[in-house]
């Protein structure tokens, strides 16, 4: 892409002034409209060092309402917190909320260009993941613009020299910068290939000729104007979708019936339970240290029928663990801030550091169970969720994580028995709510959703493990043993 760029383009002072004033006013208006409509915008600035990204960002902020934007700066070198997580983590956690403009000063694109000691396969995988990231957010309604600010090797050298010539700015030019200029041609090839491979319909690149500042500003502003206007028009023209339940009894003939095939007749004596659980808890504590030493993160998700025993299993799983190395995340209704983001955002935020365990009591799978059943998402959102979730988990396992998902299965009679027991036990009464009873009435609908979910999201890298949970002892032991097995497999023990 870069080879077709004429870096000699300029704009005269008069055009610059009049256009800039007009565009500044217009961008302010568009921003307010986007804010009112709740549309998020992500603007990525990339380009050579000293290309003027900072200046462009500041110019862009001038007409904006400061309540509506946030600039995030990404360094070429990741912090320890970032380094110990999947490479998309630092970007996912900083996406703009609905109605906000997020500006990324550098991004995963720089990761792709500047990373050293990375083989081609890993690099291609990172690009794939970056593209997935953009697609997921764009399908969710985010407008994504990417600007690459381009200057020549000669111009870059000139700018560095100018900085070096002044005592107060000389220190800003690092050894790394000088090296970058020296290896400009090599980086140019990488940058060019990277641009080609990450240019997409939902998140296209704009190459900005950066040698004349005025030209660069007007180009960025104009591209933004055109794109934002188009997006607003499209959003206004989009038919309003009434949310309604998406799954109904009898919906899917010939569907696979995974849940129906689960046998629930396990029996475990109290004595066996006590011995086995103790043994397993000892073992998993040691394995936790191994994971820590090897810097392998483990992500365990618990789903299952209400009163299926998720909480009890999690308590037995964690009882003997070192609390410095694990966190349990109960998934409640999203907060107002969480609602203003893609549904995966809050799970990305809590992804554990390498070597740590993250355990979720209910998970991102709410997206394909309660949401379509209650009509909290659209058909299109529901339909693409399986792919989004599989990509999400693949990104985690590609980054080295063990991902394991438990479905706790009981039958309807057992659930009723547990509900009643809870109601009659003053210590457990708080655990049962009207919502539990309402969900129970939708048993058949949930079955459809769960069967589909188990089918579509049980992957080689992140399998679903069915836990026969009619017998609590059996369930708890199986959860521990399956977790142990997954860890041992990973550690090649």
Q: Does residue 68 contact residue 31 with C-beta atoms inside 8 Å?
A: yes
Least separation in angstroms between CB 260 and a second copy? 31
| Burial class of residue 287 (count of CB atoms within 10 Å of its CB; 0-12, 13-18, 19+) | buried
Q: Which of 155, 214, 361, 391 binds a second copy (CB under 8 A)?
A: 361
Give the per-residue SS3 of the chain. Answer: CHHHCCCCCCCCHHHHHHHHHHHHHHHHHHHHHHHHHCCCEEEEEEECCCCCHHHHHHHHHCCCCHHHEEEEECCCCCCHHHHCCCCCHHHHCCCCCCCCEEEEECCHHHHHHHCCCCCHHHHHHHHHHHHHHHHHHHHCCCEEEEEEEECCHHHHHHHHHHHHCCCCCHHHCCHHHHHHHHCHHHHHHHHHHHHHHCCCCCCCEEEEECCCHHHHHHHHHHHHHHHHHHHHHHHHHCCCCCCCCCCCCCCCCCCCCCHHHCCCCCCCCHHHHHHHHHHHHHHHHHHHHHHHHHCCCEEEEEEECCCCCHHHHHHHHHCCCCHHHEEEEECCCCCHHHHCCCCCHHHHHCCCCCCCEEEEECCHHHHHCHHHHHCCCCHHHHHHHHHHHHHHHHHHHHCCCEEEEEEEECCHHHHHHHHHHHHHCCCCHHHCCHHHHHHHHCHHHHHHHHHHHHHHHCCCCCCEEEEECCCHHHHHHHHHHHHHHHHHHHCCC
Asked if 129 is part of the footprint of a second copy (rule: CB under 8 A), the reply reads: no
Of the ranges 210-218, 237-245, 316-324, 453-461, which one interacts with a second copy (CB under 8 A)? 316-324
Asked if 420 is part of the footprint of a second copy (rule: CB under 8 A), the reply reads: no
Of the ranges 25-33, 114-122, 222-230, 466-474, which one interacts with a second copy (CB under 8 A)? 25-33
Of the ranges 24-32, 139-147, 366-374, 375-383, which one interacts with a second copy (CB under 8 A)? 24-32
Tokens 């462009």: give the residue: 56
Asked if 311 is part of the footprint of a second copy (rule: CB under 8 A), the reply reads: yes
Asked if 322 is part of the footprint of a second copy (rule: CB under 8 A), the reply reads: yes
Q: Which of 116, 117, 430, 460 binds a second copy (CB under 8 A)?
A: 430
Asked if 105 is part of the footprint of a second copy (rule: CB under 8 A), the reply reads: yes
Q: Which of 158, 293, 417, 489 binds a second copy (CB under 8 A)?
A: 293
Least separation in angstroms between CB 267 and a second copy? 25
Asked if 333 is part of the footprint of a second copy (rule: CB under 8 A), the reply reads: no
Least separation in angstroms between CB 3 and a second copy? 30
Contact characters 59-88, a second copy, x per CB under 8 A: --xx--xxx--xx-x-----xxx-------
# of chain residues touching a second copy (CB under 8 A): 48
- In 3D space, the residue among 9, 350, 28, 393 whose CA is nearest the CA of residue 207 turns out to be 9
Least separation in angstroms between CB 101 and a second copy? 13
Asked if 117 is part of the footprint of a second copy (rule: CB under 8 A), the reply reads: no
Least separation in angstroms between CB 327 and a second copy? 7
Q: Which is closer to a second copy, CB of 227 or CB of 346?
A: 346
Q: Which is closer to a second copy, CB of 67 or CB of 116?
A: 67
Q: Which of 240, 270, 323, 424 binds a second copy (CB under 8 A)?
A: 323
State how far the Cα of 110 lies from the Cα of 74, in Å rounded to an integer: 9
Q: Which of 28, 366, 400, 463 binds a second copy (CB under 8 A)?
A: 28
Asked if 416 is part of the footprint of a second copy (rule: CB under 8 A), the reply reads: no
Q: Which is closer to a second copy, CB of 66 or CB of 239?
A: 66
Least separation in angstroms between CB 234 and a second copy? 23
Of the ranges 123-131, 135-143, 181-189, 326-334, which one interacts with a second copy (CB under 8 A)? 326-334
Asked if 332 is part of the footprint of a second copy (rule: CB under 8 A), the reply reads: yes
Q: Which of 138, 320, 354, 458 binds a second copy (CB under 8 A)?
A: 320
Q: Which of 337, 416, 485, 493 binds a second copy (CB under 8 A)?
A: 337
Q: Which of 57, 207, 228, 484 binds a second copy (CB under 8 A)?
A: 57
Q: Does residue 93 contact residue 349 with C-beta atoms inside 8 Å?
A: yes
Residues of the shown chain interacting with a second copy in the complex, contacts defined by CB under 8 A: 25, 28-29, 32, 54, 57-58, 61-62, 65-67, 70-71, 73, 79-81, 103, 105, 168-169, 171-172, 286, 289-290, 293, 311, 314-315, 318-324, 327-328, 330, 332, 335-337, 361, 427, 430
């Amino acid at each position: 892409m870069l080879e077709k760029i004429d870096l000699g383009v300029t704009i005269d002072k008069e055009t610059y002034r009049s256009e800039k004033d007009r565009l500044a006013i217009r961008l302010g208006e568009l921003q307010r409209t986007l804010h009112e409509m709740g549309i998020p915008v992500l603007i990525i600035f990339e380009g050579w060092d000293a290309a003027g990204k900072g200046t462009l960002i500041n110019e862009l902020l001038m007409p904006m309402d400061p309540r509506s934007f946030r600039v995030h700066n990404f360094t070429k070198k990741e912090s320890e917190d970032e380094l110990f997580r999947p490479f998309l983590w630092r970007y996912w956690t900083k996406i703009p909320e609905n109605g906000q403009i997020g500006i990324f000063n550098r991004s995963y694109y720089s990761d792709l260009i500047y990373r050293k000691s990375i083989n081609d396969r890993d690099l291609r995988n990172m690009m794939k993941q970056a593209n997935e990231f953009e697609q997921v957010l764009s399908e969710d309604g985010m407008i994504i613009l990417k600007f690459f600010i381009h200057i020549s090797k000669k111009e870059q050298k000139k700018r560095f020299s100018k900085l070096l010539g002044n005592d107060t700015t000389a220190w800003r030019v690092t050894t790394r910068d000088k090296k970058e200029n020296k290896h400009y041609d090599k980086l140019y090839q990488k940058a060019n290939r990277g641009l080609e491979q990450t240019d997409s319909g939902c998140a296209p690149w704009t190459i900005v000729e950066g040698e004349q500042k005025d030209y660069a500003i007007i180009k960025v502003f104009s591209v933004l104007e055109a794109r934002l206007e188009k997006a607003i028009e499209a959003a206004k023209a989009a038919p309003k979708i009434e949310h309604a339940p998406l799954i109904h009894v009898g919906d899917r003939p010939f569907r696979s019936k995974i849940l129906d095939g689960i046998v629930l007749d396990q029996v475990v004596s109290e004595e066996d339970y006590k011995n086995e659980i103790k043994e397993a808890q000892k073992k998993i504590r040691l394995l936790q240290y191994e994971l820590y030493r090897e810097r392998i993160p483990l992500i365990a998700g618990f789903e299952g029928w209400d009163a299926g025993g998720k909480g009890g299993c999690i308590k037995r799983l964690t009882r003997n663990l070192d609390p410095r190395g694990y966190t349990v995340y109960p998934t409640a209704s999203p907060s107002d801030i969480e609602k203003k983001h893609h549904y995966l955002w809050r799970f990305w935020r809590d992804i554990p550091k390498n070597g740590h365990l993250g355990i979720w009591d209910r998970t991102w799978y709410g997206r394909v169970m309660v949401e379509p059943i209650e009509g909290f998402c659209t058909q299109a959102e529901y339909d693409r969720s399986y792919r989004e979730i599989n990509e999400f988990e693949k990104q985690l396992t590609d980054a080295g994580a063990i991902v394991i998902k438990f479905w706790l299965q009981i039958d309807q009679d057992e659930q009723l028995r547990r509900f009643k027991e809870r109601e009659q036990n003053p210590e457990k009464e708080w655990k049962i709510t009207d919502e539990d009873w309402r969900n129970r009435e939708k048993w058949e609908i949930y079955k459809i959703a769960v069967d589909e979910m188990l089918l579509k999201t049980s992957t080689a890298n992140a399998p679903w493990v069915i836990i026969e949970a009619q017998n609590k002892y059996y369930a708890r032991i199986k959860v521990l043993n399956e977790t142990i097995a997954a860890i041992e497999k990973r550690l090649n023990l």
